[in-house]
Chains A and B, each alone.
Chain A
């Protein structure tokens, strides 16, 4: 197919962009740290080997960009509590299966007989509930704005007595603000996530340059897209300016996708959310709104307060998730914690920072 995709992988364009980035970077004698907050950026840029092509003084750091990795143990504990105390089938994305709760993963729970089924998305879980009216189905829903709108669309049009949704959804821009406010983190610019931005647009990032005088660029996912994003944010950093550069305009409009945003605002309310190892972050979550309380698993089942533990056996996922430490600093990395045997959440999904570092064995994390 003649998708424009090919053009965004053009080696020649990649090489020229790298040269231009080099020229820009030479203007600074210091290390420039750019944080992305998207698991797909991490995966795609490592797969394309982009880190090794970038100048030595550019450090691309991975922020809390994977909704699977940032899912707190308590959310999984609660879903497992529902399964153990009510006769329900848990449905969720395959990525969620091996993420540790305080005690076990959904995969391990499945091994002891808990009904857990992997689905491609919420729509399949609903079909399952339609086909099996006697079976109680709970969809364990995680994701940022890209996924929230899909969940929202289904929540708004589904009314099945045997179907409910447990929301672990999160929102990105307020989380970026919390990262900016931390004094234990040092970085110079944000690479904003392209897919999230197709929904929310460029506008919700504008407070970042306005309030914090901090550079942002929105980037897509092909090698050229990522490099254009880096180029744009680097240019701002070197020039000492701050704005939101949209480098993914072919899919991201300034106002985003208004229809999808309306559906999200109808089905969800912004709430506080638990991030793995990082505690509760105010106004970074999406709970199902009262209008659709009948489909909210948290309201349907009376979940008690459960003891919870996010980080087990020396895992430092809390530091990995905010780009404060690199996987190699963890004593378990590639020893007891491996892609085939994950101990922490960041080793589970194929876009988790520890998983990517272990899989591609790239020395991308020089101190």
Chain B
């Protein structure tokens, strides 16, 4: 039950609700816990129907750079 699952925002319903695609299944999610605004195409973490975090795409790219670093200086 404390699982948080990554999903993709696929539709904005209203100010407090969006539709999220979680590995092919569409589910409504509540956005009340989030300060940032959401757009279609954002990746998010969903926990019991609430979005708890939005993926930072810049950071995700930097992750990849960090790996390159770790992986290259073997």
Known: A40-B2, A95-B1, A150-B49. A249 touches B56 (CB 8 A): yes
Within 8 A of B (CB), among A96-128: 120-123
- Given the known inter-chain contacts A123-B30, A149-B33, A198-B4, please indicate yes or no for A257 contacting B53, CB distance below 8 A: yes
Is A260 interfacial (CB 8 A cutoff)? yes
Q: Which residues of B1-33 have CB atoms within 8 Å of chain A's CB atoms?
A: 1-4, 6, 8, 21, 23-24, 30, 32-33
Q: A residues within 8 A CB of B32?
A: 153, 157, 263
User: Are B33 and A20 touching (Cβ within 8 A)?
Assistant: no
B residues within 8 A CB of A146? 2, 4, 47, 52
- Does chain B have a CB within 8 A of A346? no
Q: How far is the CB of B42 from chain A (nearest CB, A)?
A: 11
Interface size on B, residues (CB 8 A): 33
Question: Hey, which chain B residues are within 8 Å of A16, CB to CB?
Answer: 70-71, 74
Please report the C-alpha to C-alpha distance between residue A250 and residue B64 in the assembled complex, in whole angstroms.
11
**Hey, which chain A residues are within 8 Å of B59, CB to CB?**
249-250
CB pair A39 B2 closer than 8 Å: yes
Number of A-B contacts (CB under 8 A): 112
A14 to chain B, nearest CB (A): 11
A39, B4: Cα distance in complex, Å: 12
A121-B49 Cα distance, complex, nearest whole Å: 8
A120 near B49: Cβ-Cβ < 8 Å: yes
Q: Chain A residues with Cβ under 8 A from B60's Cβ?
A: 4, 250
A249 lies within 8 A of B47 (CB): no
Asked if A251 is an interface residue, CB under 8 A from chain B, the answer is: yes
Interface assignment of A259: CB less than 8 Å from any CB of chain B = yes
CB–CB B30/A153 < 8 A = yes
The CA-CA distance from A240 to B5 in the complex, in Å, is 35
Which one of A5, A19, A67, A260 contacts B52 once the chains associate, using CB atoms below 8 Å?
A260
User: Binding site of B, secondary structure by majority: helix, strand, loop or mixed?
Assistant: mixed
Bound state CA distance, A153 and B48, in angstroms?
Answer: 12
B2 CB to closest chain A CB, in angstroms?
A: 5
**In whole angstroms, how far apart are the Cα atoms of A362 and B44 in the complex?**
33
Whether, in the assembled complex, B63 has its beta carbon less than 8 Å from a beta carbon of chain A, the answer is: yes
Q: Is A81 engaged at the interface, CB distance under 8 Å to the other chain? A: no
Cβ contacts under 8 Å, A121 to chain B: 1, 48-50
Contact present for B45 and A68 (CB under 8 Å):
no
A11 interfacial contact with B, CB 8 Å? no
Most chain A beta carbons < 10 A, residue from B8, B23, B24, B60: B60
Could you name 28 residue pairs across A and B whose Cβ atoms are closer than 8 Å? Answer: A1-B21, A3-B6, A4-B43, A4-B60, A7-B64, A13-B71, A17-B70, A68-B1, A94-B1, A120-B48, A143-B1, A143-B2, A146-B2, A147-B2, A147-B47, A150-B49, A150-B52, A195-B2, A228-B67, A228-B70, A250-B55, A250-B56, A250-B60, A250-B63, A252-B53, A258-B35, A259-B35, A263-B33
- In order of increasing CB-CB distance, the 10 nearest A-B pairs are A121-B48, A198-B53, A259-B35, A93-B1, A260-B33, A250-B60, A195-B4, A250-B59, A251-B53, A249-B59
Give A contacts to B, CB under 8 Å: 1, 3-5, 7, 13, 16-17, 19-20, 39-40, 66-68, 93-95, 120-123, 142-144, 146-147, 149-150, 153, 157, 195, 198-199, 224, 228, 231, 249-253, 257-260, 263
